[in-house]
A and B are shown apart, each in its own frame.
Chain A
């Protein structure tokens, strides 16, 4: 996969974008970079997925230092709401015409700093924070009240703040406050040489270590102009699918738990453990860390490891069928999941929802099929798509995908597979740009890099699918009752760390 760049003047962006949208392009990400010292300006990028092309299209707009303003498209493209505000916070550029230009990434109590500017040092010590982290829109009306939840939640999950406005049981609207776990990851990428940076990529979102690791390495390989060996592609494909399976089966169990069906979760978490054990057999780490590297993978597999893989998957498949029979024959479970937390297909399209949540709401997209990478070009993928958009369909997409993943692994795994699994990559020349896309288990992961001197990165933009999908949660909970929120939230299961970076 490669990408196309199109330079567009700030005054022409609106016209260009509405033209692209009409042609069926989907906006995937927006980000900026500080090129002041090199070119005396900033750039703002809008990344589009093209309808009938494997290449992504990047619209690049120059923003001058003297007039640090870029035209906001958020009013026409709601998917840009947060991402444009992030550009404001990180770079101090102004999104002109944004309907809600408040801070999003930096909390309200942060001083006036722009951490991704080159003149901001990563180890800057900020003064102690004062005041409210965030001022929420008030909830007015008779009998209407607010329920604040978080940042620390009741379960073992990541932190974020949810503010529900409710009238009795039904939720009127939900305000989200994220970025509690902002760790300066994109800034940190600019400090590390390429090899250690792979490990940072693995720590963007813990349950998607391998997908983010692959996305990052693919970007490096593309910038270096290196093709990795076929065997490495197949190994990556197998591990990407194992990551999908262990997360999907855990989510199926968690959804069951949230409607009180804990025995299903006991079996599901046992099945997850089975895959985590397999991960360890194949890579030495349960979360598949320390395996991927720029140029391929770090370790080879012996024939007995591949035979293990086949044996474990066989047991898994049988047990998974048992699990689904238990869940599917439970009427009360179906009753709780069907027509709960509906995300209408129109809304999903407008908001640019990706991945599992998108496919459950009629969005027929999958990076594996639309922008093939690793060994996906050689496998047959039937992307499951449902129109109903409720919790049950988000569960069903996961079930279908697990079954499909088993097939993908079987079609690329062979014990008699030999050959190189890694090529060496010489230090990267500066100023190479590359965009890489991976279908993580949640959805579309994008990494965009610009290389710098000394085999370091000048900029690394990370787009986790969660960034696209949080607005879907806000949409899906409306009109549902508060006690259904946990199961609706779980059916999306978005990454806070991937969002906050």
Chain B
């Protein structure tokens, strides 16, 4: 007993202050890539190097459409290795978004005969609401939900097909460093006790029914957070005979947290974003 107390006293306070104080993240942390869209000459090398298809190319005659989907990105750095001139790995991780389209950048280039991109015609980062009325309505509904869930939040984690990488980081939220409970948030054993489902993917066909049952068992109002590249889009597994590719293929999703896996800070950001306690930061531009 004395040993335990002495060790506790020796250890002192280890808990981080995020989100009240900025997160201390290693200088060597490899976060989301940033693209130099105006200066990008050839997206083909990066698209070929990307293991998940997060960088995709569509050739339309003398026009090339390049799509960068942070919802598929695993921050592996292959694109930056393949095309260091146009792509840089950043240390950004606060990418969680309330709309799947917020994670997608589309750029359109004029292409010369040799396949080199000679002119950036337009670039479109994320998504800007077109219909203000429907967006306002959505915000109103969100505000109502936030007013109920904002202060104390019970989370049920559902692994709907993950490789267990996301679970390693989600488990870390309970340790003394990240200590989720200091924010009034805790994990519960049953969806019936939960306000939020924190779901990892890619949803497998064998977990589809279990996920649906967990969703139905969670009382309203509830929020669903899709975790990691696989939870958002199916990630490297994609959509195949055994997977459905992304949590929103089965249940409606309120917040998407990119990463492979998202670091615990990023999970915290996404969870707090889902209950209106933090703001969306957007993708690197």
Which A residues are within 8 Å of any B CB, using their own CB?
Answer: 107, 113, 115, 120-126, 129, 133, 151-152, 154-159, 179-185, 187-188, 192, 195-200, 203-207, 209, 250, 263, 266-267, 269-270, 272-273, 276-277, 280-282, 284-287, 289-290, 298, 305, 322, 325-326, 329, 495-497
Listed stretches B56-64, B110-118, B141-149, B167-175; interface member? B167-175
Q: CB within 8 A of A267: which of B11, B49, B89?
A: B11
- 18 A-B residue pairs with CB within 8 Å: A113-B241, A152-B210, A156-B174, A181-B161, A181-B206, A183-B240, A184-B241, A185-B237, A195-B51, A197-B51, A206-B166, A269-B176, A270-B176, A284-B89, A326-B3, A326-B7, A497-B162, A497-B163
Q: How large is the interface on B (under 10, 10 to 19, 20 to 34, 35 or more residues)?
A: 35 or more
* A181 CB, nearest partner CB in chain B, Å: 5
Decide if A154 touches B189 in the complex (CB within 8 Å).
Answer: yes
Within 8 A of A (CB), among B16-47: 26, 28-30
* B236 CB, nearest partner CB in chain A, Å: 5
Decide if A156 touches B170 in the complex (CB within 8 Å).
Answer: yes
**Known interface pairs A183-B243, A187-B240, A199-B74; A325-B165 also in contact (CB < 8 Å):** no
Decide if A280 touches B241 in the complex (CB within 8 Å).
Answer: no
- CA distance in complex: A269, B163 (Å): 20
Chain A residue nearest to B239 in the complex (CB): A123
Decide if B4 touches A326 in the complex (CB within 8 Å).
Answer: yes
Interface string of B5-16 (1 = CB under 8 A from A): 001100100100
Q: Does B279 contact A (CB under 8 A)?
A: no
Q: Does B164 contact A (CB under 8 A)?
A: yes
Return chain B residues, CB-CB under 8 Å to A273. 172, 175, 177
- CA distance in complex: A198, B205 (Å): 25
Return chain A residues, CB-CB under 8 Å to B240. 122-123, 183-184, 187-188
Q: Does B246 contact A (CB under 8 A)?
A: no
Decide if A199 touches B236 in the complex (CB within 8 Å).
Answer: yes
Chain A residue nearest to B2 in the complex (CB): A329
Interface centre among B4, B174, B241, B263 (most CB of A within 10 A): B241
Chain B residue nearest to A179 in the complex (CB): B206
Interface centre among A154, A188, A290, A305 (most CB of B within 10 A): A290
**Known interface pairs A158-B159, A183-B243; A285-B205 also in contact (CB < 8 Å):** no
* A108 CB, nearest partner CB in chain B, Å: 11
Return chain B residues, CB-CB under 8 Å to A115. 241-242
Decide if A200 touches B4 in the complex (CB within 8 Å).
Answer: no
Decide if A289 touches B241 in the complex (CB within 8 Å).
Answer: no
Q: Does B76 contact A (CB under 8 A)?
A: yes
Which B residues are within 8 Å of any A CB, using their own CB?
Answer: 3-4, 7-8, 11, 14, 26, 28-30, 49-52, 74-78, 81, 89, 157-172, 174-177, 187, 189-191, 202, 204-207, 209-210, 214, 230, 235-243, 260-261, 263
Decide if B204 touches A182 in the complex (CB within 8 Å).
Answer: yes
Decide if B205 touches A126 in the complex (CB within 8 Å).
Answer: yes
* B90 CB, nearest partner CB in chain A, Å: 12
- CA distance in complex: A125, B167 (Å): 28
Interface centre among B74, B206, B209, B263 (most CB of A within 10 A): B206
**Known interface pairs A270-B175, A285-B75; A206-B165 also in contact (CB < 8 Å):** yes
Chain A residue nearest to B167 in the complex (CB): A156
- CA distance in complex: A298, B80 (Å): 12
**Known interface pairs A156-B187, A207-B164, A209-B165; A180-B207 also in contact (CB < 8 Å):** yes
- CA distance in complex: A287, B260 (Å): 9
Return chain A residues, CB-CB under 8 Å to B160. 159
Q: CB within 8 A of B235: which of A203, A263, A285?
A: A203
* A128 CB, nearest partner CB in chain B, Å: 9
Q: CB within 8 A of A280: which of B28, B51, B76, B162?
A: B28
- CA distance in complex: A204, B164 (Å): 9
Chain B residue nearest to A178 in the complex (CB): B206
- CA distance in complex: A282, B28 (Å): 8
Give me 9 other A-B pairs in contact (C-beta within 8 A), A180-B207, A266-B176 excluded: A154-B189, A156-B157, A156-B187, A181-B207, A203-B165, A269-B171, A280-B29, A289-B74, A497-B162
- CA distance in complex: A152, B89 (Å): 36
